[in-house]
Structure 1
Amino acid sequence: MAAEGLDDGSRGYDDGDDPDGHFGEAVAAYYDETSAEMFRPEAVEPAVELIARLAGERGEPRALEFGVGTGRIALPLARRGVRVHGIDMSRAMVERMRAKPGGEDIEVTIGDFATTRVDGPGPGFTVAYLVYNTINNLTTQDAQVDCFRNAAAHLVPGGCFVIEVGVPDLRRLPPGQNTVPFRVTPERLGFDEYDVATQGMRSHHVMATDEGTVRLSVPFRYVWPAELDLMARLAGMRLRNRWEGWAREPFTNDSTKHVSVWEKV
C-alpha cells in the first residue's frame, strides 16, 4: 500500500497501484499482531479439525485455501497431513507465511482467488475454504459469484466448499447512522461504515504501534447467508451444513457469524 502523510503525524494507507491490493506491506507488517486473538489455539484448532475431516472424506486429503495470507489455517492443516495449496493476491502476506516453520512447504499461487485457477493434485481438491470474513474482500456480487464457481471448478465431485463469515450487523444501525464500532481499546479503534443500498462496507482501523499511529481503511461487501446459498446453487453446489461456529453450534437468529459447508453435486 502507498503511504500518505497526515497532518497529525500518523500514517495512513490506501491500495493505490499496489499489486497486493489492500493487503500489501502496510497491513502484512501488523496482521498477525492485530489479529492475535484469531491465532489462539481455541480459534485455530476447531477450524483445522473440521476442515481436515472434510478434506479426508474423498480419499487423499487435498485442500485449497482462498486467501491463504500468513498461514494461520494452512500451516496447522498441513501438519495434520493435508496437502494444502493457497491462492492469494498479497505477496507481502505470503512472504510472512514463508518465514514461518513449514511455510515453504505450502504451495501458493499469486492471484485473485475469485478467478485464478491452479493445477490440483490428482483429480482435484477434496475441500476448498475461505475463513475469517475473506469472502467479503470481494467487493462486488459478480466477484463473489465467480468465487463460488472457481471453488466448484477445483473440487472433486462430492467435495466441499467452506466459508466462515459474519452476519451483517445492521440491527445495530439506528435510522440516520451508518457506522458501527467493533473494537475500542487504548491501542486500537475499529469501526465499520455501511452503505446499505449497495451492501458495501468499509472497515476503518486506527492502531497504536511502536512506530506510531497507523490508519487503515479496507473496503468489503457484506453478504447474507441466503445470498451465499444462491451463489452456491449457481455454481452447482448445495448447502450441506450451517453452524454458528467451528464447534458446530446451532445457527440461530442471534448468531453473529456462520460456518457454512456446500457440497459439489
Structure 2
Amino acid sequence: MESYGNTECWDRVEDYDGLGWATAQDADEAAGFLAELAGRGRALELGVGSGRVAVPLARRGVEVVGIDSSEPMADQLRRKPDAADIEVVIGDFAEVPVPGTFGVVYCVLNTFMLLLTQDEQVRCFENVAARLDPGGSFVLQLSLLSPAHYAQSTFAETMHAAADSAVLIAAEHDRAGQRVNRQQMVVTKTGVQFYPMSYRYVWPSELDLMARIAGLELAGRWAGWTGAPYQGNPGRYITVFRKSV
C-alpha cells in the first residue's frame, strides 16, 4: 500500500488550531497529567506541531522541547505569545534527534501512528528510552479502529457536520499491515479541500512488547487524562511506560 504525504498535507494549513475538527479539546487536561509526570525534569513532545499541548505545559513551568518534521507547523508554534521558551527541533521524531535527557517524553493524538512500519515504531521506542531520565516516563495517546472498520478493507464516515460545512472520511485499510490511508474531505460553501494522511495503528499488547524491547515497563493505561479505567473500547486511551531508576 502506497502512503500519502502526511507532512506535505499539513504544511498547507496556515492555522491548524483553527480547523477545529482536526484537533482534540483536551490540551489542559493533557498538560496537567504530563506536568505531574515531568516533575522537575524537562518534557519532550514528539510531533509537537502547532504546540497545542506544549504551550499549556510550558505555562505550568515545565521546560518543553518539541520535535516536528514540518517547518510551517513549527512556525505556527513559534508565533504564539507563550511559546518563546519552547525549543523546536526539525527532524524525524522516530530518531529523537535532541541532546540530553527528559523526565517525560510524550506523543499525543495518534501522532505515533504516523510512523508507518513496525520497525520505525520500535526504533522510536528505543530512541525515547535513551533520552529518558532514570524513572522517566514515555506517554502515548492512541486509539483503536472500531470493530466495524477493522472488518472492512474500505470504509467511510462523517467526522463533522454543520449547517455550512461537513468533514467526510474515505479510507482504505490493509488489515495485514495494520495500515490505513485516510482522505479527509472538508466541504464548505466555497468548495472542497482534501487532507490525506496515512497511519499504522498499533495494538496495546504490541505497544507493551515494543516497550520491553526498549527496556521500558508498563506503568499504567487509562481511558483518558483523568485516569478513568481503560476497558479496551474504541477511542482514545493513554499509556505510560517507565524507565527503571
- Taking structure 1 as the reference length, the TM-score comes to 0.83
Runs of 4+ with deviation above 4 angstroms: 174-177
User: 1:173 is paired with a residue of what secondary structure?
Assistant: helix
Match of 2:28 among 45, 50, 54: 45
Is residue 134 of structure 2 the alignment partner of residue 157 of structure 1? Answer: yes
Give the 5 Å matches for 1:1-265. 15=5, 21-26=7-12, 28-35=13-20, 38=23, 40=25, 43-56=26-39, 60-120=40-100, 124-169=101-146, 171-173=147-149, 177-181=153-157, 183-185=159-161, 186-208=165-187, 212-265=191-244
In the alignment of these two chains, the number of paired residues is 238
Q: Which amino acid aligns with 1:45?
A: D
RMSD: 2.1
User: 2:81 is paired with a residue of what secondary structure?
Assistant: coil
Relative contact order (C-alpha < 8 Å, sep 6+): which is higher?
2
Q: Which amino acid aligns with 1:240?
A: A
Contact 2:44 2:105 in 1 (8 A): yes
Once residues 133 and 113 of structure 1 are traced to their aligned partners in structure 2, the CA distance between those partners, rounded to angstroms, is 14
1:175-225 per-residue CA deviation (whole Å, 9 max, x = no partner) reads 665214251524221244311011111121111357632112111101101
Q: Which amino acid aligns with 1:129?
A: Y
User: 1:102 is paired with a residue of what secondary structure?
Assistant: helix
Once residues 250 and 22 of structure 1 are traced to their aligned partners in structure 2, the CA distance between those partners, rounded to angstroms, is 37
Once residues 252 and 218 of structure 1 are traced to their aligned partners in structure 2, the CA distance between those partners, rounded to angstroms, is 28
Once residues 172 and 152 of structure 2 are traced to their aligned partners in structure 1, the CA distance between those partners, rounded to angstroms, is 12
Once residues 81 and 238 of structure 2 are traced to their aligned partners in structure 1, the CA distance between those partners, rounded to angstroms, is 28
When residues 256 and 176 of structure 1 are mapped into structure 2, their CA distance, relative to the original with a 3 A threshold, is: closer
Unaligned segments of structure 2, at least 5 residues: none
Identity of aligned residues (%): 40
Contact 1:89 1:111 in 2 (8 A): yes
Once residues 79 and 9 of structure 2 are traced to their aligned partners in structure 1, the CA distance between those partners, rounded to angstroms, is 17
